[in-house]
Structures are given as structure tokens and as C-alpha cells.
A and B are shown apart, each in its own frame.
Chain A
């Protein structure tokens, strides 16, 4: 029982080249919120703006994350 020994041609049933794209997108979205939310929180601690800076940080980070997904993954390479 040796089976089919013809070498599999490359480009068969493997993962498409952009397989990591889903996790990359997730990383951008969460990363954006985390980084700028944290920076906003730091500004909050510094200037005592009562959560306003944190909110602006989250908004900026969310927008940046979405923008990155569009620029990096939106156009097919």
C-alpha cells in the first residue's frame, strides 16, 4: 500500500498566500485601540481630564486601526 507517489504540484490545496490576513486585521484593530487608549489614559493621568483623553485615544486608535486594515489589506497585492 504505497499510494499515490506523484509529487503534489505546488499551488494545490495549500493555504492561500494571504492566510495570515485575518489575524493581521484583528491585530491592527485591537492594537490600535490598545495603544492609543493607553496613550489617552496616560494623558488623562497627567492632565486630569476626567476620561476625556482616554475616549479621544480610543476613537483615534479605532480609526487608525481601520485605516491600517484598509491600506495594508484592502488593495490586492
Chain B
């Protein structure tokens, strides 16, 4: 991205301010093709993420030892963190059964988010709504499925749609419950992840490209300010590191909270 920007800066037309168009990159296969979205940088990044995760966890557990090696310790720490501090803490002893799914979800989102700040890549697949949307749909179908299996269909629907309230309040409340449980949950789950990463990438573009715009400015006293702009973009990169971990964590915790709600008995 930066290399591209330098070339453009030399030509004197920097794509500034950044727009949604900056998120639709040319395809890799066929090379450089616009309007072809079957194999782009995002496709490649998702496959690379999956590959890295599979290889890392396979290698870490290939020869498990009682006293773990460093790699095994890292893998066990990640799994232990999600199992104990998310699954069991939120769902209770039944949460252990969901720990593999939550761990997969957590590391997959984390790895995909991480591309946002890795130099030379600096864009995450999750800046496209499609990837968070699919992840949200998986969590959504799972918590409904789990709830129906645990309670039975009628009891699950009654449990999640009929609040503890007098009968004459129900016509007012049930539509609100339908919206907030079955529509707002998956939509907010997907939008939260997508919007955070989208906004993060836009902010990084603004400060990085803004530096070049300032450098090319006609007014001489504006030129040194470009250094400040780049310094801010580096600072924002560190802020993004926090956002990346936090969003992966929130997505997992909220999925766990929905499963917990589906499994909860009447109270």
C-alpha cells in the first residue's frame, strides 16, 4: 500500500480522501482484474490464516509432553484461556463442550484481524461484511439449535419470546423480543466486528495518505506536518492492535452469552 502510494505521490494524484473503493482490491487470479472477486487478496489471506492456524496447532500437539515445550504451552494457554475464562465462566460445566468451537472462533477472528496491522498486508478480510456475517450466522444457528435441543422447540420459543410479565403486556413485548433476539443479535454481532475493522483501516489510510498529501502541499510550512501525520498513523496501529484482540474476544464472549441464554433454565 505504501509502495503504491509513493508512486502515486510522485505522479501527484494521491487517492485522498480514502473511500469504500479502497476496499475492493484487484483480483489475484486473473491478475489485476477489476470486478472479479473470486480470488482476491482477502481470499488468499483467509486461506493463509486457516493454514497458519492448522499447522500451528498440529505442530504444537504432535508430540504432547507432560512438561510442555514453549509452543505447546502457547497453544495450551490459548485453549485454556477460552475454555476456562470464556466457556466455563459463562456457560458453566456444560461450557466445556463448546470450548473447541469458541477457541476456533477466537483464533480465526484474531488471525484474520491481525492482517490489519501486519506491515505489507495491512488490510483484514473482516473489513468486508461477508466474513463477519458468515461467522455471526454460524453462532446464530448454533445458539438456536442448542436451545431447541435442550428445551424442545415450543419451550425454547416460549422461553426466549415470552418475558415474565402479565398476559396483557405480552402483545406489546413479544414483537420486541422477536426483534432483539432473532434479528438484532446476529446483525449486531456481524456489524460490530466489521465496522471496527473497516473504520480502523479508513483511519490508517487517512493518516498515511494524509502524510503524502501534506508533503505534496503547495504551502511550504505544511510539509513538516506530514511527519506528525505518519507518527499518528503508527500510534493508531498500536491502538488497532488493542481493537483487534478486543473484537475477537467480544465476538467470542457474546456468542458464549447467547449459548448460555439458550441453555438457561427458567428463573
- The chain A residues found within 8 Å of chain B, CB to CB, are 1-3, 5, 7-17, 19-20, 23-24, 27-28, 30-32, 34-36, 39, 60-61, 64-65, 67-68, 71-72, 77
Contact = CB atoms under 8 A, between A and B. Distances in A.
A2 B175 contact: no
A71 B163 contact: yes
B180 A14 contact: no
Contacts, number: 102
B73 A67 contact: no
A5 B183 CA distance: 42
Nearest to B265: A77
12 contacts: A10-B88, A10-B89, A15-B86, A15-B89, A17-B90, A20-B260, A23-B254, A27-B180, A31-B179, A35-B176, A64-B173, A68-B177
A15 B165 contact: no
B68 A2 contact: yes
A12 B84 contact: yes
Nearest to A33: B176
A20 B179 contact: no
Contacts of B48: none
Interface in B125-183: 163-165, 169, 172-173, 175-181, 183
Contacts of A19: 90, 253-254, 257
Contacts of B81: 8
Interface residues of B, number: 38
A30 B183 CA distance: 12
A27 B184 contact: yes
A10 B178 CA distance: 33
Interface of B: 67-70, 73, 80-81, 84-86, 88-90, 163-165, 169, 172-173, 175-181, 183-185, 188, 253-254, 257-258, 260-261, 264, 267
B180 A2 contact: no
A28 B185 CA distance: 11
Given A64-B173, A72-B163, A1 B70 contact: yes
A24 B73 CA distance: 36
B175 A67 contact: no
Given A14-B86, A60-B172, A71-B164, 14 more contacts: A13-B85, A14-B84, A14-B85, A14-B88, A14-B90, A15-B85, A23-B188, A27-B184, A28-B180, A31-B179, A35-B178, A61-B176, A64-B169, A71-B163
